[in-house]
């Protein structure tokens, strides 16, 4: 690990994330991937 290196973020949602919302997240600068995981 290094300062200003890659970071990981997790979101816990009450409702499923739609494809349009996932695309909006991917449109944010410096966001490279967005995956939906159902546990």
Position 20 scores a pLDDT of 95
8 backbone dihedrals φ, ψ, rounded to 5°: -125, 140
Q: What is the pLDDT of residues 1-39, one digit of tens each?
A: 678 888 888 989 999 899 999 999 999 998 999 988 888
DSSP 1-39: --TT---------SSPPPHHHHHHHHTSTT---------
Position 7 scores a pLDDT of 85
Distance CA 26, CA 33 (A): 7
Domain chopping of the chain, boundaries: 8-39
Position 29 scores a pLDDT of 93
Position 23 scores a pLDDT of 95
Distance CA 30, CA 15 (A): 25
pTM: 0.68
Distance CA 2, CA 11 (A): 23
């Amino acid at each position: 690990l290094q300062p200003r290196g890659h970071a990981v973020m997790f979101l816990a949602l009450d409702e499923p994330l739609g494809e349009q919302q996932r695309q909006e997240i991917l449109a944010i600068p410096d966001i490279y991937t967005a995956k939906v995981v159902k546990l």
